Amino acid sequence: MALVFTFPCGRCGKKYSVYYPKAFVYSVYGTGTPAQGAREDAEEQAAGAVDAAKRRAEAVGNVWVDVSQQPKITCTCGKNLDLDLAHHPRVPQRKGVSGARQAGVIAFPSTPKGGHGTHKGTPGMPKASPSS
Ligand SMILES: [Zn+2]
């Protein structure tokens, strides 16, 4: 089962389906060894789970991102989206629990309340630098 989270851009609402390879997750959270993660990733790739998830994401218009390739992305609207799970404590870290294991939606702080929050990103106030 490929681990994919959908991140909506807090500014323009564009959706990103982010694939978290097990090797990446394990190395970050220590829930397994990188070697074990790499093996599971390979199995998922071989089983077509990753491709299937990618096709599903693209079918609904989401942008597919492999977090091991792109730990950070900048939305087309200019907002930086931080994909590091460690910065999103709401992500359930339990393994093997039935329920929201896949396709969890991590809400970015999209309502600028002003100076609240410890999120490393820039909720609501990305630097608007039209430098084209
Ligand atoms: Zn955006």
Quick one: tokens of 31?
């829930």
In angstroms, what is the span from residue 13 Cα to ligand 1's centroid?
A: 6
CA angle 54, 2, 50 (to 5 degrees): 35
* 83 has a pLDDT exceeding 60: yes
In angstroms, what is the span from residue 125 Cα to ligand 1's centroid?
A: 12
In angstroms, what is the span from residue 36 Cα to ligand 1's centroid?
A: 35
The pLDDT tens digits of the residues spanning 103-124 come to: 455 555 555 555 555 555 545 5
Segment 18-34 mean pLDDT: 89
Which of 1-10, 12-21, 44-53 has the lowest average pLDDT? 1-10
In angstroms, what is the span from residue 15 Cα to ligand 1's centroid?
A: 8
| Residue-range domain boundaries for the chain | 1-123
**Among 17, 18, 15, residue whose Cα is nearest residue 110:** 15
In angstroms, what is the span from residue 129 Cα to ligand 1's centroid?
A: 14
In angstroms, what is the span from residue 22 Cα to ligand 1's centroid?
A: 27
- What is the distance between the alpha carbons of residues 34 and 22, in angstroms, rounded to a whole number? 8
pLDDT of residue 85: 74
Model confidence at 28, pLDDT cuts 50, 70, 90, reads confident
The pLDDT tens digits of the residues spanning 47-81 come to: 999 999 999 999 999 999 999 888 889 999 999 98
- What is the distance between the alpha carbons of residues 30 and 121, in angstroms, rounded to a whole number? 24
How much is the pTM?
A: 0.64
In angstroms, what is the span from residue 66 Cα to ligand 1's centroid?
A: 18
In angstroms, what is the span from residue 121 Cα to ligand 1's centroid?
A: 13
* 92 has a pLDDT exceeding 70: no
In angstroms, what is the span from residue 14 Cα to ligand 1's centroid?
A: 5
